[in-house]
């Protein structure tokens, strides 16, 4: 996603959670392997997570934040250990939702105990294709099992068991994180009181499936992909992964947003060079995004996580294809936000989810946030989003 | 509801209205022909002392809200179309045990709803309620909204389809002061409750109580009960209310339900 345009709070500022450290928890091991939704078992399963704020005496103030495709557990604050872990990209900027999470911020860490865990199959601390397979002693690569949104939520619930949290005050996330939030509402209706879904609907559109397919294609066709066994080599399928990221970035923006941000301006020159280099500003931007991404993300993880995104369909999973039937499971207070220029999860699809909840008598709030910044708006429009999240977390609970 | 017209005995405010209407008619005649002195119309005014009612006490809360709060049964489901900042819904939800859902288009109002804990869908009701299934709410409410819609008829029909009952309130353009305002000034009426100018008014479909009742009769919609706010305050709907009511609140149902004729 686009790096936030706002100035970030330094670690010693009152609105920052400050220096952060992650923790890792072994949720499943050889004697107790994790049963996957796709069939089969996986062990061990280690999960990296971060927490901010204090759990209260009644253990009733926990908010679980769910990250999107390329996200990680580092939601807010500044990574104290970035040198030790080699995550140099964290040196210059705080966590991915720092504008929303911190003391006095919309998700107020003075009041709430906030946690976020990296998803299974990712490459940011939780077990994934780049982890060593204990049976072979080499990384799983594409021998890693298929993972699903359902698996992620099951594992998050398991982590809460370990931490002694029976019920969440709220879950929230955007994009693929929003789909996890929805899955929480349906899979564990009695364990979460408020659910806030941003820029996500019950399933990815066909257009979204198509974009993901092209992204994977460019990785799979990269000559350095080697069937997923590129670990330890000088260079993996970085050009394929960069191309996938560049394409994805186009889907995170909007025509109007790109026009405003770049126009048709040339990149640092007055007249065209008549070359195939980065002639236009937008090319330079995409090039930068591609290069930055391959430094921090694993191509195999990209394949697995986009597939999880493709497969997820709340109506299929919980309603036999009927979203309204699926919504009957929901017991939480729901708020669902779409963004006007989002064409990855278009407002009409997001609204259908809200209306399905309304149809079965669930109290639901749906807002279409005006924005020209496309899908990324859920990260960029912090004022508008914060202006809805804060009152949603503070408002009285409505009866079902 | 069973309104009881009182034949022979004219209420104080009806009497006052009659007098002002006659004066207005005389003023119009004089405007047509400035040479005209006494038009003779004034003789029609009964000189009995005017009983000017204590000017209707108005708190910030809308009178319709109080009636609705009283009329709805605990646990009923309500869809509030054009719920504004959610004041009514939040009281109904938190105090009266109503299962309420709001619909509102204005972004600032929606944020206020969220703050109050009122579930609200940001939608344009003018674009139809087809997503809402038949009889999915006990009540569907259009409080002071109908006259602001581009497609009021479609919304009314949808309202009575989606709700087992419809509740509608609107300003009555048949109210005598409105009539006089138009007649005397020759300009679109502006009153305390209709303060807008023609170019900035949200009220784009203007109708009287009688217009509405004509429609409901032709559409087979039944009036279950009705309330009016006149200068004397809030009371059940009376036969003369096309003239006397500033605003009305009507409880309706589609067809095949108990029918009470009011006017």
Residue B7 clears pLDDT 50, i.e. is over it: no
pLDDT of residue B181: 85
Q: Most distant CA pair in chain B: distance in Å?
A: 66
Q: Which of A22, A122, A130, A175 is catalytic?
A: A175
In a domain, A173, yes or no: yes
Is A161 considered catalytic here? Answer: no
**pLDDT band with cut points at 50, 70 and 90 for residue B39:** low
Dist. CA A38–CA B208, nearest whole Å: 64
The number of domains in chain A is 2
Looking at residues B40-50, what average pLDDT do you find?
59
- The minimal CB distance from B111 to the residues A354, A361, A391 is found for A391
pLDDT of residue B131: 85
pLDDT of residue B57: 42
Contact A365 B119 (CB under 8 A): yes
In a domain, A7, yes or no: no
Which stretch of A22-31, A203-212, B51-60, B133-142 has the lowest confidence by average pLDDT? B51-60
pLDDT of residue B6: 44
Q: Do both A210 and A87 map to the same domain?
A: no
Percentage, residues of chain A above pLDDT 90? 94
pLDDT of residue B70: 92
A323/chain B closest Cα distance in angstroms: 13
Dist. CA A291–CA A269, nearest whole Å: 22
Looking at residues A246-253, what average pLDDT do you find?
97
Q: What is the β-pairing status of strands A45-52 and A23-28?
A: antiparallel
Express each pLDDT in A250-277 by its tens digit.
999 999 999 999 999 999 888 999 999 9
Which stretch of A187-196, B38-47, B189-198 has the lowest confidence by average pLDDT? B38-47
Looking at residues A267-288, what average pLDDT do you find?
93
Q: What angle do CA B28, B34, B39 make, to 5 degrees?
A: 60
Is A342 considered catalytic here? Answer: yes
Which stretch of A266-275, A326-335, B20-29 has the lowest confidence by average pLDDT? B20-29
Is A29 considered catalytic here? Answer: no
CATH number where A375 lies: 3.40.50.1820
Instruction: Establish if A359 touches chain B: CB-CB under 8 angstroms.
Output: yes
Looking at residues B147-155, what average pLDDT do you find?
92
Which stretch of A41-50, A153-162, B142-151 has the lowest confidence by average pLDDT? B142-151
Residue B58 clears pLDDT 80, i.e. is over it: no
Looking at residues B130-141, what average pLDDT do you find?
92
In a domain, A220, yes or no: yes
Structure tokens at A303: 């394949």
**Residues in A touching B107 (Cβ below 8 Å):** 367, 370
In a domain, A177, yes or no: yes
Identify each DSSP E strand in chain A by its residue range: 19-20, 23-28, 34-35, 41-42, 45-52, 62-66, 78-79, 101-102, 107-108, 113-117, 168-174, 192-198, 333-339, 364-369
Residue B258 clears pLDDT 50, i.e. is over it: no
**pLDDT band with cut points at 50, 70 and 90 for residue B263:** very low
Contact A365 B113 (CB under 8 A): yes
**Residues in A touching B133 (Cβ below 8 Å):** 359
CATH number where A228 lies: 1.10.1740.110
**Residues in A touching B111 (Cβ below 8 Å):** 387-388, 391
Structure tokens at A49: 């997570």
Q: Do both A61 and A148 map to the same domain?
A: yes
Q: Do both A258 and A144 map to the same domain?
A: no
Q: CA nearest B92 in A: which residue?
A: A398
Dist. CA A68–CA A122, nearest whole Å: 11
Residue to mutate among B98, B122, B125, B139, with most A CBs inside 10 A, is B122
Mean confidence (pLDDT) of chain A: 95
| Main-chain dihedrals φ then ψ at residue A62, nearest 5 degrees | -85, 135
Contact B120 A368 (CB under 8 A): no
Q: Do both A226 and A344 map to the same domain?
A: no
Express each pLDDT in A135-159 by its tens digit.
999 999 999 999 999 999 999 999 9
In a domain, A14, yes or no: no
**Residues in B touching A394 (Cβ below 8 Å):** 115
**pLDDT band with cut points at 50, 70 and 90 for residue A2:** very low
Domain boundary among A311, A344, A365: A311
pLDDT of residue B60: 52
Looking at residues A198-212, what average pLDDT do you find?
98
Contact B117 A395 (CB under 8 A): yes
pLDDT of residue B55: 39
In a domain, A13, yes or no: no
Identify each DSSP E strand in A29-162 by its residue range: 34-35, 41-42, 45-52, 62-66, 78-79, 101-102, 107-108, 113-117
- Complex ipTM: 0.91
pLDDT of residue B8: 46
Contact B133 A398 (CB under 8 A): no
In a domain, A372, yes or no: yes
- pTM of the complete model: 0.89
Dist. CA A265–CA A344, nearest whole Å: 26
Residue B5 clears pLDDT 50, i.e. is over it: no
pLDDT of residue A399: 54
Q: Pick the closest to residue A201 from A349, A378, A354, A385 (CA basis).
A: A349
Percentage, residues of chain B above pLDDT 90? 57
Residue to mutate among A363, A381, A397, with most B CBs inside 10 A, is A363
Task: Name which residue leads in pLDDT, A291 or B20.
Answer: A291
Q: Do both A43 and A57 map to the same domain?
A: yes
**pLDDT band with cut points at 50, 70 and 90 for residue B231:** confident
**pLDDT band with cut points at 50, 70 and 90 for residue B182:** confident
Residue A314 clears pLDDT 50, i.e. is over it: yes
Q: Do both A221 and A283 map to the same domain?
A: yes
Cβ neighbours, 10 Å, residue B226: 24
**pLDDT band with cut points at 50, 70 and 90 for residue B25:** confident
Domain boundary among A311, A331, A351: A311
Contact B111 A387 (CB under 8 A): yes
Per DSSP, helices labelled H in B33-86 are 63-71
Domain boundary among A280, A311, A342: A311
**Residues in A touching B158 (Cβ below 8 Å):** none
Dist. CA B182–CA B73, nearest whole Å: 41
Residue to mutate among B114, B131, B137, with most A CBs inside 10 A, is B114
Q: Do both A331 and A296 map to the same domain?
A: no
How many residue contacts between A and B have a Cβ separation below 8 Å?
68
Percentage, residues of chain B above pLDDT 70? 83
Contact B121 A365 (CB under 8 A): yes
Q: Which chain A residues in 216-275 lie under 8 Å from chain B, judged by CB atoms? A: none
Express each pLDDT in A20-32 by its tens digit.
999 999 999 999 9
Task: Name which residue leads in pLDDT, A311 or A5.
Answer: A311
Question: What domain range includes position A371?
Answer: 19-204+313-394
Q: Do both A84 and A231 map to the same domain?
A: no
Looking at residues A319-342, what average pLDDT do you find?
97
Residue B169 clears pLDDT 60, i.e. is over it: yes
Instruction: Establish if A351 touches chain B: CB-CB under 8 angstroms.
Output: yes
Instruction: Establish if A11 touches chain B: CB-CB under 8 angstroms.
Output: no
Q: Do both A278 and A330 map to the same domain?
A: no
Q: Is A288 helix (H, G, I), strand (E, B) or coil?
A: helix
**Residues in B touching A370 (Cβ below 8 Å):** 107
**Residues in A touching B80 (Cβ below 8 Å):** none
Q: Do both A272 and A322 map to the same domain?
A: no
Which H or E run includes A155? helix A149-163
Looking at residues B225-249, what average pLDDT do you find?
94
Q: Do both A304 and A327 map to the same domain?
A: no
Percentage, residues of chain A above pLDDT 70? 98
Q: CA nearest A394 in B: which residue?
A: B115
pLDDT of residue A47: 98
In a domain, A334, yes or no: yes
Q: Do both A291 and A163 map to the same domain?
A: no
- The minimal CB distance from A395 to the residues B77, B99, B115 is found for B115
Q: CA nearest A369 in B: which residue?
A: B107
Q: What is the β-pairing status of strands B163-171 and B222-230?
A: unpaired
pLDDT of residue B34: 75
B169/chain A closest Cα distance in angstroms: 24
Express each pLDDT in B103-125 by its tens digit.
999 999 999 999 999 999 999 98
Residue B232 clears pLDDT 90, i.e. is over it: no
């Amino acid at each position: 996603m686009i790096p936030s345009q706002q100035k970030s709070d330094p670690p010693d500022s009152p609105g920052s959670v400050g220096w952060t450290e992650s923790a890792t928890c072994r949720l499943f091991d050889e004697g107790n392997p994790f049963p996957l939704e796709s069939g089969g078992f996986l062990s061990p399963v280690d999960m990296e997570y971060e927490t901010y704020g204090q759990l209260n005496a009644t253990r009733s103030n926990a908010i679980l934040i769910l990250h999107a495709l390329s996200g990680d557990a580092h939601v807010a604050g500044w990574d104290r250990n970035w040198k030790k872990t080699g995550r140099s990209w964290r040196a210059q900027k705080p966590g991915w939702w720092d504008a929303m999470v911190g003391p006095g911020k919309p998700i107020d860490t003075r009041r709430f105990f906030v946690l976020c865990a990296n998803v299974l199959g990712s490459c940011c601390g939780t077990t994934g294709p780049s982890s060593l397979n204990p049976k072979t002693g080499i990384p799983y690569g594409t021998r890693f099992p298929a993972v699903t949104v359902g698996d992620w939520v099951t594992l998050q619930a398991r982590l809460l068991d370990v931490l002694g949290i029976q019920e969440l005050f709220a879950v929230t996330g955007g994009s693929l994180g929003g789909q996890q939030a929805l899955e929480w509402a349906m899979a564990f209706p009695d364990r979460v009181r408020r659910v806030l879904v941003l820029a996500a609907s019950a399933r990815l559109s066909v257009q979204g499936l198509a974009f993901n397919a092209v992204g994977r294609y460019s990785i799979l066709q990269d000559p350095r992909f080697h069937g997923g066994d590129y670990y330890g080599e000088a260079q993996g399928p970085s050009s394929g992964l960069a191309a996938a990221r560049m394409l994805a970035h186009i889907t995170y923006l909007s025509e109007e947003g790109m026009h405003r941000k770049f126009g048709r301006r040339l990149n640092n020159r007055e007249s065209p060079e008549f070359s195939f280099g980065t002639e236009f500003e937008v090319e330079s931007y995409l090039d930068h995004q591609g290069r930055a991404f391959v430094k921090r993300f694993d191509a195999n993880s990209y394949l697995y996580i986009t597939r999880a995104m493709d497969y997820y369909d709340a109506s299929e999973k919980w309603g036999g294809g009927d979203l309204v039937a699926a919504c009957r499971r929901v017991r939480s207070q729901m708020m669902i936000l779409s963004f006007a220029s989002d064409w990855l999860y278009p407002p009409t699809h997001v609204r259908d989810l809200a209306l399905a909840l309304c149809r079965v008598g669930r109290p639901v709030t749906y807002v279409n946030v005006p924005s020209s910044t496309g899908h990324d708006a859920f990260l960029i429009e912090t004022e508008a989003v914060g202006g809805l999240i804060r009152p949603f977390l503070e408002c009285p609970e409505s009866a079902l | 509801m069973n309104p009881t017209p009182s034949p022979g005995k004219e209420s104080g405010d009806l009497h006052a209205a009659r007098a002002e209407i006659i004066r207005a008619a005389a003023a119009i005649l004089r405007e047509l022909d400035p040479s005209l002195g006494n038009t003779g119309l004034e003789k029609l005014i009964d000189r009995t002392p005017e009983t000017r009612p204590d000017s209707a006490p108005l708190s910030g809360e809308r009178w319709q809200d109080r009636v609705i709060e009283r009329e709805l049964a605990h646990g009923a489901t309500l869809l509030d179309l054009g719920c504004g900042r959610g004041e009514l819904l939040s009281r109904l939800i938190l105090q009266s045990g109503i299962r309420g859902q709001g619909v509102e288009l204005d972004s600032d109002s929606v944020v206020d709803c969220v703050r109050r804990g009122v579930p609200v869908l940001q939608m344009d009701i003018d674009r139809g309620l087809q997503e809402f299934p038949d009889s999915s709410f006990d009540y569907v409410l259009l409080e002071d909204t109908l006259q602001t819609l581009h497609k009021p008829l479609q919304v009314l029909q949808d309202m009575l389809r989606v709700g087992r009952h419809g509740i509608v309130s609107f300003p009555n353009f048949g109210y005598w002061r409105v009539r006089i305002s138009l007649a005397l000034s020759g300009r679109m009426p502006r009153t305390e409750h209709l303060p807008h100018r023609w170019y900035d008014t949200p009220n784009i479909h203007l109708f009287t109580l009688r217009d509405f009742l004509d429609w409901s009769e032709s559409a087979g919609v039944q009036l279950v009960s009705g309330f009016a706010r006149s200068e004397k305050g809030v009371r059940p709907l009376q036969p003369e209310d096309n003239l006397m009511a500033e605003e009305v609140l009507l409880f309706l149902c589609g067809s095949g339900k108990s029918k009470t004729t009011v006017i």
